[in-house]
Every structure is written in C-alpha cells, then in structure tokens.
Amino acid sequence: MRQGFDGVRPASESSIEIGFFHEGRHCVERIRAKPTAANLKRAADRRAAILEAIARGEFDYDAEFPKRGGATKP
C-alpha cells in the first residue's frame, strides 16, 4: 500500500517536492525541509492551499515562490 500525499514526495535528504498544474503546465517546486512525516504533511497542506487558490483564480506564483525567478515558472 502506498503511503504519503498526492503531489508531495521527498526529493532528497533535505528537501521535499510538491507538484501541481497551473495554467496548463505541470509545475514542480522544491521546498527546503527535511522530509519527515510532519514536514511532508505541511507540504501537503501547502499544496492543498495552492490548489484552492488556483481554483479560485487567486494564485500568485511570485508571492508563493519568490525565489523561483521568472525564467522558468509558467
């Protein structure tokens, strides 16, 4: 049986990746946090908030991921 959260996975020993669709593109962002059970839950909650904001048309990529840089985001 698979454990974990949809769209959230450990990326390394010190980071977590969250994935979501925005403006028709699959986006994957890395969060600097050790992938403990608690941090994976926090990442899943953050992803859920992102999905809700996207559904409402209120998602601001620059505000959510300010260090991302404009060249690679949707």
**21-61 confidence digits (pLDDT tens):** 999 999 999 999 999 999 999 999 999 999 999 999 999 99
Length of the chain: 74
Distance CA 35, CA 57 (A): 30
Distance CA 16, CA 52 (A): 20
DSSP-assigned letter for residue 33: S
- What are the strands, taking DSSP E only, across 24-73? 25-32
Please name the helix (run of DSSP H) or strand (run of DSSP E) that holds residue 49, with its range, or none: helix 37-56
Q: Of 53 and 68, which is predicted with more confidence?
A: 53
